[in-house]
Chains A and B, each alone.
Chain A
C-alpha cells in the first residue's frame, strides 16, 4: 500500500476529517501517522488493506471499545474511527509524549532506568493497567514489547496498540509473537484470553526486571532458531532458566549476563513468584499469578527498598539485623518499619508513604501521603513528614498523644503509633 502524502484528508465516521502531517512508523498491521484534527495533533493508525482476517468485525470491536472508554489513563485508547477509504480504515488516538520510550529500547539497553524504584514502579503500573483492563471484562490478547511506552525516570507506563483488545471470550484471530505467548497459544491449542494474558504479563515483568527472557538459556542457544525450534522452546518443551528442579536451561555467562547479575539481587518472594509462573504456570492456567497478587508483591518490594547514602538502592529484609549495600558495600543497620494493615514500610530517608498505606480502603500506590526526612542539624535524627492534607494523631510509647498537622513531622522511634484517620500504624 502506498503511504498517505502530507496534506491527505481522511474522513472520520463523525463526519469531520483529519489531515495527515507525516508518517511516524509502521508495523505488521499498518502504518501510524501524525495527523491534525481540529488543529490538535493526534496519531492515526491506518491498517494495510486486506491484512485483517475479518476487517468488519475488527472495526466493530474498535468502535465498541471507543464507546466503552479506556480502563485507566495509562491506555492510549482508540478515540475516533475513520470511514472506509482505499479499502481500509483507521482510528485516532493520542500521541505518545516525548518523555516515554519504547519498552524494546530498554530491553536493548539503548535507554536505562534511572533507579530500581523506577523499575518497580513500571512493574506496578503495568500490572495495574492489566488488572483494570481485565476488570472491565477485556483481554489484551497480544502482549509484547511493542505495547509499552515507559518513562525511565518515574516508571510511568503507557499501554498502546489497544485495537486487539477484546471482550471476554472474544478473539480477533491475533495471537502474537512466540516469545511472549503462553505455551498453549504457541501450540495452537487455545486462543488468547485473560489466562494467556497473565502468562504474557509474567514474561513482560521478567523482561522488565531481569532484562532477559525467562525461557532463554543454555538449551536455547542453538545456532539456528528455526520456527519449529521456537515452537519447541516456547510451546511444547519450555524450561525456566531458574527452575529450582531443572537445571538444563541455565543462563550462560557471556550471553545471558543480565539474568545472572540481576536474579540474585531480588528477594526470595519475587523469585518465587517467577518460579511459580514459569514452573506450574507454564501448563496450568490457574497457577499463573493474578494481577492483584503481582501488585501486592511489587508494593512490598517498593516498601522494602531504601536508598543508601551512596545513592544505591537496597532491598531490606526485616528479619535480618543488617544488610550490605550493593553499591558501596557499606553495612546498613536494618531500619525501623511502619507496620500498617497489609503492609510494612521501611523507614529510611527518602522512603515514602502512599495512600494505600494510610487508607485501608485504598489501593492507590501513586498518591504520596508521607516521606521520611533527615534532620539537617542532626542527620541521625529521622522523622516522618505528613504530606497529606489531613491531620494524623500520634501516641508515644508512654501514652502521650499529639496532633501531626499537614506538613508536621513525627520523630521515628520504636513504639510510636500513628492514626492516619482511615488506617493505623505502629513503628516497629
Chain B
C-alpha cells in the first residue's frame, strides 16, 4: 500500500494517430480486400503492444474508406487497446478526392487531433488499386496546406499495376514511400510492415543520430530508409502470381 499504488494513470503521453485510408471500390473485390482485411485484423494486437509499452505516446487508429464517396468508420480515432477491425466490403468507384478532403477536415485540433496532452504528427497509410474517378487534385492541394499532413509520416501501397502510381507519389511526396503489391501475400506483408514501422517511428520521441556532420533526423527519412530495406527483401519473395 502506498502512493505509487494509488496513481490513477501513467506519465502524460502524447497521441499518435495511425490513419488507414482504404480503397473499397468495386475493383478491390475478392483477394485484394480479403488480404487487406486479414492483414489489418492480424496486426491489431501488435499495434496494441506497441502502444501499451510505450511511454512516449499512445497509438490511436482512424479508418477512412472511399468508393463512391468516402466514410469514416468510427466517429473518433480509437485507442489501439480498444480497437477492433470491422471487415470492409466493396462496391462503387474510386473517389479519392473526397477522401483527401475528408482527411483534411479531420486533421485539425478541433477534430481528430484534439488530445489535451498533445499529439505527435500522425502516420497516414493509403491503399488503392485504381485511378481516382473524381477530381482529386483540388482535395490534395488543400491537404498539402495542412500542417498535420506536412509533418506526417506518409506511405502508400499500390495494389496491383493498375493503381495510379503518380497520384500515390504525389500524396506521399516521394516515390520511395510508395510500395507496389502484386499478390495477396506481398500485400499482407506490406500492410504488416508499414503499420508496425510507421507506428513505432511515429509514436516515439524523435531520435538524434550523429552522421559525422550536422544531425538532421527526420521520422519520414527514417521511415523511408526502413521501407527501402524492406522492399529490397520482399522483392525476392514476389511470386509470379499477379492480381
Are B207 and A108 in contact, CB atoms less than 8 angstroms apart? no
| Among candidates A105, A116, A207, residue contacting B3 with C-beta atoms closer than 8 Å | A116
Question: Chain B interface: which of A4-12, A125-133, A212-220, A291-299?
Answer: A212-220
Binary CB contact string for chain B from 217 to 228 against chain A (1 if under 8 A, 0 otherwise): 111000000000
> For A109, A177, A224, which residue has the most chain B Cβ atoms within 10 angstroms?
A224
Judge if B118 is at the interface, Cβ distance under 8 Å: yes
With contacts A175-B208, A222-B118 taken as known, whether A104 is within 8 angstroms of B54 at the C-beta atoms is yes
Q: Contact: B119 with A311, CB < 8 Å?
A: no
Task: Please determine whether B55 and A176 come into contact, CB atoms closer than 8 angstroms.
Answer: no
Contact A211 to B233, CB < 8 A, known contacts A115-B2, A223-B113: no
Task: Tell me if B76 is interfacial: C-beta within 8 Å of chain A.
Answer: no
B223 to chain A, nearest CB (A): 12
Do A262 and B117 have beta carbons less than 8 Å apart?
A: no
Report A-chain residues with C-beta under 8 Å of the C-beta of B7: 109, 112, 211, 258, 261
In the complex, A265 has a CB within 8 A of chain B:
yes
Is A207's CB under 8 angstroms from B116's CB?
no
Rounded to whole Å, the gap between the CB of B62 and the closest CB of chain A is: 15
A178 touches B208 (CB 8 A): yes
Residue from the list A51, A178, A216, A312 in contact with B12, Cβ < 8 A: A216
Distance of A181 Cα from B204 Cα, bound (Å): 13
- Residues of the A chain whose Cβ atoms lie less than 8 Å from the Cβ of B204: 177
- B10 with A178: CB separation less than 8 A: no
In the complex, what residue of chain A is closest to B1 when comparing beta carbons?
A: A311
Bitwise, B7-24 to A at CB < 8 A (1) or not (0) is 111111110000000000
Q: A221 near B117 (CB under 8 angstroms)? A: yes
Which range contains the number of B residues in contact with the other chain? 35 or more
How many A residues touch the partner, as a band?
35 or more
B206 contacts the other chain (CB 8 A): yes
Residues in A with CB closer than 8 Å to B52 are 105, 108, 110
Mark B residues whose CB is within 8 Å of A: 1-5, 7-14, 52-56, 109, 113-114, 116-121, 147-148, 151, 200, 204-212, 214-215, 217-219, 229, 233
A residues contacting B by CB (< 8 A) are 1-2, 28, 48-51, 53, 102-110, 112-116, 118-119, 145, 171, 173-181, 185-186, 188, 191, 207, 211-213, 216, 220-227, 230, 234, 254-258, 261-262, 265, 310-313, 326-327
27 contacts between A and B (CB under 8 A): A49-B229, A51-B229, A105-B52, A106-B10, A109-B8, A110-B53, A112-B5, A119-B4, A173-B209, A175-B215, A177-B56, A177-B208, A178-B208, A179-B205, A180-B205, A188-B214, A212-B11, A213-B11, A223-B109, A223-B119, A224-B109, A225-B118, A225-B120, A227-B218, A258-B10, A258-B11, A327-B1
